[in-house]
C-alpha cells in the first residue's frame, strides 16, 4: 500500500532551496526537483511555513503555482519585532494576505514564543504580538500553526486567556515539539491541540520516550525542512530504513541527489519510520492516522 503524507511544516522559501548557503550560491535553484521528489514519495500536500510579511508574499507566489501547495500567514516569535514600528499596519498587512487568499492560506502562524532566541526579540514583544495574532485566527476561523521553545508557562497562559478564540478557530498544532512529557500532556489537556513531530523531536533518548507516550490521534508529521532532519547521531536514527543518495559538497550538486545536511519534504518518510519504530506499531496504520489528523485540522473546511 502506498503511504500518503502531508508535511505540515516546510520552509520552502528558505534560500537553501535556491542553492544559497550562508549567503553564498553553491548550485542552481532546485525547488522543482525537491518538490518532484516529495510527490514521488507520497506527499499529497505541503504546507509552506511563513514567518513574516515578506515570507508570506514569497510563499503565496510559490503556492499559487501548484494545487498541492498551501501556506500559513503569521509572524514567527523571533520576527515579532517587525510589529513594533507600526503595529496596526503590520497586523493589517497579515490580515490582508489572509483575506485575499482564502483557498491558499490554511493556518495563522508560525506564531508563538521562543525564549531560546531572545537576541532576536525580547519576551514582552513576543508575548504581545503572539497574543495579537490569535485575533486573526478567530476572525478567519483558521487553525494555528504554533511555535514554542523553552516558554511553556507563558505560552499556555496566553492560550488559556484566549480559550474562546482557539475554540472559534478550531485549535492548532504545536509544531517541532521538543518539550517534556509534562509539557506535552499540558498541551493536549488544553483541548483542540495537536503536536507536530520532526527530526528535532526525535533527537535524544528523552525525546524518544516522550514520543512513545504521545497518543496517535494527536500527532502530525512534518520535516521543518531544510532544517530538522534525522541525523545518524539521533536516538531515533536506528529506526530509519529509507535512505536517500546525498552529496557532501554542495559544488557536486545533481538533480537526483539530496544535499547532505539539507532536509527535504521527501524525508518525512524517515520521520514516520522513526515514530513507528519507537512506538512498535505498523507504519501503515500510523500514516493513515496522522494523515487524517492533518486533514481534520487544516483541510476539512475546504472540502
Residues annotated within a binding site for a divalent metal cation: 110, 147, 175, 224
- Give backbone dihedrals phi and psi of 248, rounded to 5 degrees, phi first: -80, -40
Degrees, nearest 5: CA angle 56-13-46: 85
The residue among 29, 109, 104 whose CA lies nearest residue 75 is: 109
Which residue shows C-alpha cell 527530526? 199
Residues tagged in the binding site annotation: 110, 147, 175, 224
Q: Is 143 in contact with 107 (CB distance < 8 Å)? A: yes
Which residue shows C-alpha cell 509539557? 183
Q: Is 254 in contact with 27 (CB distance < 8 Å)? A: no
Question: DSSP per residue over the chain, as a string?
Answer: ----EEEEEE-TTSGGGGTEETTEE-S---HHHHHHHHHHTTEEEEEE---SHHHHHHHHHHHTT-TTEEEEE---GGGGGGGSSSHHHHHHHHHHHHHH-TTTEEEEEEEEEETT-TTTS-HHHHHHHHHHHHHHHHHHT--EEEEEES-HHHHHHHHHHTHHHHHHHT-EEE-S----HHHHHHHHHHSSEEEEE-GGGGSSHHHHHHHHHS-GGGEEE---BTS-PPPTTSTTGGG------EESSGGG--TTSEETT---GGGHHHHHHHHHHHHT--HHHHHHHHHHHHIIIIIGGG-
Amino acid at each position: 500500500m502506498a503511504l500518503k503524507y502531508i508535511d505540515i511544516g516546510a520552509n520552502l522559501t528558505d534560500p537553501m532551496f535556491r542553492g544559497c548557503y550562508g549567503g553564498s550560491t553553491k548550485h542552481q535553484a532546485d525547488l522543482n526537483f525537491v518538490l518532484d521528489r516529495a510527490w514521488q514519495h507520497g506527499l499529497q500536500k505541503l504546507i509552506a511555513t511563513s514567518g513574516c510579511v515578506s515570507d508570506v508574499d514569497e510563499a503565496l507566489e510559490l503556492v499559487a503555482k501548484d494545487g498541492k501547495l498551501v501556506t500559513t500567514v503569521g509572524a514567527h516569535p523571533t520576527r515579532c519585532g517587525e510589529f513594533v514600528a507600526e503595529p496596526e499596519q503590520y497586523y493589517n498587512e497579515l490580515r490582508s494576505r489572509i483575506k485575499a487568499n482564502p483557498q491558499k492560506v490554511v493556518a495563522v502562524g508560525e506564531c508563538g514564543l521562543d525564549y531560546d532566541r531572545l537576541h532576536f526579540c525580547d519576551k514582552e514583544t513576543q508575548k504581545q504580538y503572539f497574543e495579537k495574532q490569535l485575533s486573526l485566527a478567530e476572525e478567519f476561523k483558521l487553525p494555528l500553526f504554533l511555535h514554542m521553545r523553552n516558554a511553556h508557562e507563558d505560552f499556555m497562559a496566553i492560550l488559556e486567556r484566549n480559550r474562546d478564540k482557539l475554540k472559534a478557530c478550531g485549535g492548532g498544532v504545536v509544531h517541532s515539539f521538543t518539550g517534556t512529557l509534562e509539557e506535552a500532556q499540558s498541551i493536549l489537556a488544553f483541548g483542540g491541540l495537536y503536536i507536530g513531530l520532526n527530526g528535532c523531536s526525535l533527537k535524544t533518548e528523552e525525546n524518544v520516550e516522550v514520543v512513545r507516550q504521545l497518543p496517535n490521534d494527536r500527532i502530525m508529521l512534518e520535516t521543518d525542512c531544510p532544517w530538522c532532519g534525522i541525523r545518524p547521531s539521533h536516538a531515533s536514527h536506528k529506526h530509519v530504513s529509507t535512505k536517500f543518495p546525498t552529496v557532501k559538497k554542495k559544488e557536486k550538486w545533481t538533480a537526483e541527489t539530496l544535499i547532505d545536511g539539507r532536509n527535504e519534504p521527501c524525508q518525512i518518510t524517515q520521520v514516520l519510520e522513526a515514530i513507528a519504530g519507537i512506538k512498535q506499531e505498523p507504519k501503515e496504520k500510523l500514516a493513515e492516522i496522522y494523515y487524517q489528523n492533518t486533514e481534520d485540522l487544516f483541510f476539512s473546511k475546504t472540502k
